[in-house]
Structure 1
Amino acid sequence: KWHQRGKKSNATMLFGHVESREHRIDHMLRLRALQDETGGFNCFIPLVYQKENNFLKVEEFPTGQEILKTMAISRIVLDNIPNLKAYWVTATINLALIAQEYGANDLDGTIERESIQAAAGAKSAHGMPLDDFIHLIKDSGFIPVERDSLYNELKVW
């Protein structure tokens, strides 16, 4: 109903816990169909499950290769959703930077203090200064762009 009112939202997919690759594809195909119907999604965010402090005890954490494959497949399947976020807090900053080569165009933000993923056991820093973020994006060959939550461009570095 939100999209029927002309409102936008993001879509997420938690992965790396109990699902199979087939479940991930099914999830993406359902989102693709809904996006075709409503056009209401601004962004797709595949979130890597943080196994440390959760009741679902997972034996194997997704490898970097598995995370990047998920990003690439997301970009291909969900080409009707304009933005793909490599949320650096769950994927780590280095992997998120590489994910730009696999279709991601959003790393989220500087985040002064992230606490949800940190409590779940995320190994990434719990925040990052803006200057560091800008440097890392430029160093990886991309152009840093500040945006608002609706993906309106605010500033380009």
Structure 2
Amino acid sequence: KRDSDGFELAVTDMVQKAKEALSIGITELHIVGGLHPSLPFSYYTEMIRELKAVDDRLQLKCFTAIEILHLAWIAKKPVSEVLGEFKSLGLDSLTGGGAEIFQQEVRDRIARGKETAEEYLDVHRTWHKLGGRSTCTMLFGHLETPGDRVDHMRQLRGLQDETGGFTGFIPLPYQPDNNEIPVEHPPTGFDMLRTLAVARLYLDNFDHITAYWVGMGMKLAQVALNYGADDLHGTILEEKIFHMAGAETPQLQTETEMIHAIREAGRVPVQRDTFYEPIREWAGEEALARA
């Protein structure tokens, strides 16, 4: 909150943003934030309730595991009760952000004080047992070793065997700006493609692997569709985390640009929802004509 880049939105501001997003065909709101020191638990319940009231078709994908732990603390309620309350109000999915890397020594160096791997996994386990679905992530290309990456995926694979609640895995390439981690450069294109390929081979119980174009750039994300990825995430209207960390990719890809990129990579464009269910598929001729 004291940071010069910090900001705080009223629920009414978020409702207005949701209405603007709906007007151009957006189907999902992905909402995460910091651990606010003074906002009450009622702010978050009101947020879910009011956003869902905008249009029930709008899918709400909100909160990282550490946020859920923080909200349970301020509400003085068990995690299961907090998640159950959010679900009853209309929360559709948890985000997978904040996993970073599970190896504790590295985790202590890049995210000291954050939840442990066990706590991250337990929040998602609890959500899955309530019937919820979520994505999961891995931040790579900083201080971790290749073995740390494999161990991270091993633990995600184990929870997926247990619950089947993950809809997809999203490897996130580290961005070096505006933080104190002593790494000057993001991972190379080769490393990004190798990581996606290993994920596709190892995480055989995951239906989907995402090439996150915001972190990779669209050109490399196109190539990634031939290295194990089957998803490019979304068109995206307003992304802050990666751009505040130095990403120079655009804030937005239009529908036409996405269709063109996917067709050029030799794949069939399909718009999907939060749960990877198809909304619309573009036939070859139609996709090429629109692009």
What range describes the TM-score normalised by the shorter chain of this pair?
A: over 0.9
**Residue from 218, 222, 225 that aligns with 1:97:** 222
Per the normalisation by structure 2, the TM-score is 0.53
Letter paired with 1:14: L
- Structure 1 runs of 4+ aligned residues shifted over 4 Å read none
CA contact (8 A) 2:175 2:185 kept: no
**Residue from 207, 218, 236 that aligns with 1:82:** 207
The corresponding residue for 2:271 is 146
**Residue from 66, 69, 75 that aligns with 2:191:** 66
Q: Which blocks of at least 5 consecutive residues in structure 1 are unaligned?
A: none
Per-residue CA distance 1:91-128 (angstroms, 9 max, x = gap): 11111111111110110111123222111101211211
Aligned-residue Cα RMSD (Å) equals 1.0
Aligned to 1:83, what secondary structure does the other structure show? coil
CA contact (8 A) 2:139 2:171 kept: yes
Q: Which blocks of at least 5 consecutive residues in structure 2 are unaligned?
A: 1-125, 283-291
CA contact (8 A) 1:112 1:129 kept: no
**Residue from 163, 170, 173 that aligns with 1:48:** 173
Aligned partners of 2:243, 2:186: CA distance in 1, in Å?
A: 16
Q: How far apart are residue 79 of structure 1 and its match?
A: 1.1
Aligned partners of 2:258, 2:207: CA distance in 1, in Å?
A: 22
Aligned partners of 2:202, 2:170: CA distance in 1, in Å?
A: 13
User: Identity of aligned pairs, percent?
Assistant: 48
The corresponding residue for 2:155 is 30
Per the normalisation by structure 1, the TM-score is 0.96
Aligned runs of 1:110-149 on 2, under 5 Å?
110-149=235-274
**Going by fraction, where is helix more abundant, 1 or 2?**
2
Aligned partners of 2:240, 2:262: CA distance in 1, in Å?
A: 23
The one of the two structures with greater contact order (alpha-carbon pairs below 8 A, sep at least 6) is 1
Aligned partners of 1:60, 1:117: CA distance in 2, in Å?
A: 14
